[in-house]
Structure 1
C-alpha cells in the first residue's frame, strides 16, 4: 500500500517545483518591468524634480514595510499563504492599471504605492511557501531556494531591457499594462498549481522564537542586508540618470547594464547555493561585500560603456550572493518562522529604498549623480564592519 504514494511523490513534486519556478519568474518579471524605469517615469511623465523622485522611493518603501510586515505575521499565524499570494497578485494588477493611466504624483504615491506594496509582497510569500514545502517534503532547501532566486534573476535579465524598450518605443502605459498581465498569469498559476500548506499546531508554551543570540545576529544581519540593498537601490535610482545626464551615453545602456548584471547573477546564485554548506553563509556574504566595494570604486572611476558592462560581474557577485544566501541566513536564524524571516529579509530591501530614496535625490540635486556613488561606497564599508561581528550558520 505504501508503494503507490512513494511512486507518485516524485512526479507530484516535480510538477509542483516547475510551478514554483514559473511563479518565481513571473513575480520577478512584474517587478523588473516597473522598478528600473520608475525614476525616468517620474521625471519624464509626472514631471517632478530629483528630490521628489527620491521622496517617492522613500514613501514607497515605508508603505511597503507596513503592508508586508502585517501580512507576514498574519501568514505565519493563520490563513492560507496560497490565497494570500493570489490576493496580492490581484492588487498588483490594480496598481499597474493605475500607474498606466494616472499621472498625479500624490495619487500614485498614496494609492498606487499602497496597492503595489501588496503586489510586491507576493514574492516573499511565495518564497516562504516554497521553504515550507521543501521542509515538509524533505527536499534540500538551500539549492531549491537558490534555483528560485535564479528564476527571479532570469526575469531581471529580460525585464529591464524589455521595460526600456516598451517605455521608449510604445510608452509607459503599455509597459505598466504588460506588468499587469504578468500579475494576472502569476495569480492564475498560484491558484491552480501551488500547494496549500495547512498551518501546523504549535504548543501553547509556544516557543518558535529564536534564541537570544540568534535575535542579536538577526538584527545585525538586518543591518548588513539593509546597507547592501541600500547601495543597490542608490544604484538603480541613480545609474540611469547618471548614464544619460552626466556621461551622455545612450538610454539603452542603462537597461543593458541591469540585464547583464541579472544574467550573471544566475550562475552566481547557483554556485553560492552549492557551496553554502561547505564554506558557510558568512564567508559567502564576505565575498559579496568585497565585490560590492570594488564595484562602487569602479563606478566612481570608470566611464566607458565596455568597462561599465564588464564591471557588472562584480555587481552580480555582490547582489547574487546577497539575494541567494541572505534570505536563507534569516530563515536559519529564525527557525519555525518562515514567513516572518522571509519578509524581514524582504524588508531590508525596502529599508534600503528608504535610505536610498532619502539620499539619492538630495545628493544629486546638491552635488551630482556621480557623488551618489561615494555614499554607496561608504555604506559598503559600514556593512563589512557589521559582517565581521556576526556568527556563521
Structure 2
C-alpha cells in the first residue's frame, strides 16, 4: 500500500529534506483553514474563564467544572463523529457542519447572563470544538493516500500540527487583546463571524473542484490481497493496539494540569525566580515544539515512528523526575526543553501511528487518539489535587513521574511485541526506492 510504503521511499533519507516539505504544497489550503479556525477557538478559550468569573459570577471551582464537563462531552462527540466520518463523503460534511455549529455557539455565548446558561451552551455547542481539527488531519491523510507524490503522511501531519500550535499562540494573543479592548461579549461575536467565514472556506475547499478536492478513500486491501475480510481482521487488531496507545498517552499527559498549576509556584517559591521568567518557562515548550516537530517528523520517517515515540516517552520520565530535584531556574528551563521533546515526538509519531493502525479509517483513528487529551485533563486534575495535597508542589511531581515510568514500560513492551505495526525499525531504510507490489498502490 502507498500508506505503508511512503515512509520507506527515501525522500527524506537521501538528503532531500526540503523537497519533502515543499511537496506538502497541495495541502496548504487545509492548513490555512486549520490556522484560522484554531486561532478563533483559542481566542475565545483565553477569554472564557475571566468572562465566567467577572461577568457571570462563577467561582474558580465552577469554572473548573465547566471545563471538565465540556471535556467529557467533547470526548463523546469526537468518538461519535470519528466513527461515522470514514463513510462515503461524510467527512466533507462534518467539517463545515462543526464549524457552523461552533459559530452558532459563540454567538449564543455572547448573550448568556448566567453560569448555568454558559454551562449548557458549552455542553451543547462546544462539545464540537475539537472536531474540525481532527477531521482536517484525517482528510489530509486521505489526500496523501490518494496522491502519487513525494509528501509523506508524517510530513503533512507535522505541518498541520505546527499550524495548530501557531494558531494556539495567535489565538491566545488575540484573545487577550480582544478582552482588553473589546470585552468578552464582542470578542465572542467576532469569533462567531470568523467561524462562519471558515465554514464558507471549508465548503469551497471540500466541496469544490479545487486542487484539494478528491474522491473519498476506499478501504484498503491487506498486503496479502485477502480482500475485505482481511481488512476487517486487521482493523480490529489495529483498534486494540490503538487503545493501548491512547492509554499510555493518558498516563503520559496526566501531569500536564499539574505543570500548569504548580510550575509557577515552583519557579517563584522554591527556586526564587522572577515572575517574568515564569511566563517564559511556560511558553518555552510550545515554542521549542515548532522547531522540534519537523525534526521529529524527519526522524520518524528515517528511523521509525515507534523509535521516535519512545524517545518522547523517555523524555517525559526525565522531565517529571527532574522537576522533583531541580534546584535552579536554569535547570528548570533546560527541563522545559526536554518537555518539548516529549510533546513534539508523541504528537507527530502518535497521530501517524494511530492512522496507520486503522487503515482506511483515518477519521476514527485520529478522533480516538486525540480523545486522550480530554481524559488526561480529567485524570490530571485528580492527580494534581492528590499529589499537591499529600507531597507538596515539588515532591508531588513524583506521582506523574511514576505514571510516565509505567507508561514508558508498557509502551516499550507493546512496541516490542508488534515491531512492524508500530514501525520499530532496526535500521533506516536504504536510499533506493523500494519496489511496490502490484495492486497495492
TM-score (norm 1): 0.81
Shift of 1:337: 0.9
Maintained 8 Å contact 1:58/1:354: yes
Partner of 2:314: 290
Partner of 1:190: 202
Residues 132 and 109 (structure 1 numbering): CA distance in 2 closer, same or farther, change over 3 Å? Answer: same
Distance between the aligned counterparts of 1:40 and 1:366, measured in 2? 30
Q: For 1:1-393, what aligned pairs fall within 5 Å after superposition?
A: 16-35=26-45, 42=52, 46-102=56-112, 104-138=114-148, 139-167=151-179, 170-194=182-206, 195-199=212-216, 207-210=231-234, 213-236=237-260, 238=261, 242=265, 256-300=280-324, 311-360=335-384, 373-391=397-415, 392-393=422-423
> Once structures 1 and 2 are overlaid, which stretch shifts more, 146-155 or 304-313?
304-313
Residues 267 and 15 (structure 1 numbering): CA distance in 2 closer, same or farther, change over 3 Å? Answer: closer
Residues 362 and 196 (structure 1 numbering): CA distance in 2 closer, same or farther, change over 3 Å? Answer: farther
Maintained 8 Å contact 1:54/1:357: no
Maintained 8 Å contact 1:56/1:357: no
Q: What stretches of structure 2 of length at least 5 have no aligned partner?
A: 1-22, 207-211, 220-226, 416-421, 424-441
What number of residue pairs does the alignment pair up?
A: 380
Residues 315 and 77 (structure 1 numbering): CA distance in 2 closer, same or farther, change over 3 Å? Answer: same
Residues 188 and 37 (structure 1 numbering): CA distance in 2 closer, same or farther, change over 3 Å? Answer: same
Per-residue CA deviation, residues 72-105 of structure 1 (Å, 9 max, x unaligned), is 1111124332221111111122233344443533
Residues 97 and 308 (structure 1 numbering): CA distance in 2 closer, same or farther, change over 3 Å? Answer: farther
Shift of 1:109: 2.4
3-state DSSP of counterpart to 1:102: coil
> Once structures 1 and 2 are overlaid, which stretch shifts more, 257-266 or 369-378?
369-378
Give the CA RMSD over aligned residues: 3.6
Residues 362 and 168 (structure 1 numbering): CA distance in 2 closer, same or farther, change over 3 Å? Answer: farther
Structure with the higher helix share, 1 or 2: 1
Partner of 2:18: none
Maintained 8 Å contact 1:98/1:108: no
Distance between the aligned counterparts of 2:195 and 2:386, measured in 1? 33
3-state DSSP of counterpart to 2:30: helix
TM-score (norm 2): 0.73
Q: What stretches of structure 1 of length at least 5 have no aligned partner?
A: 1-12
Shift of 1:275: 1.2
> Once structures 1 and 2 are overlaid, which stretch shifts more, 26-35 or 343-352?
26-35
- Say which one has the larger Rg: 2
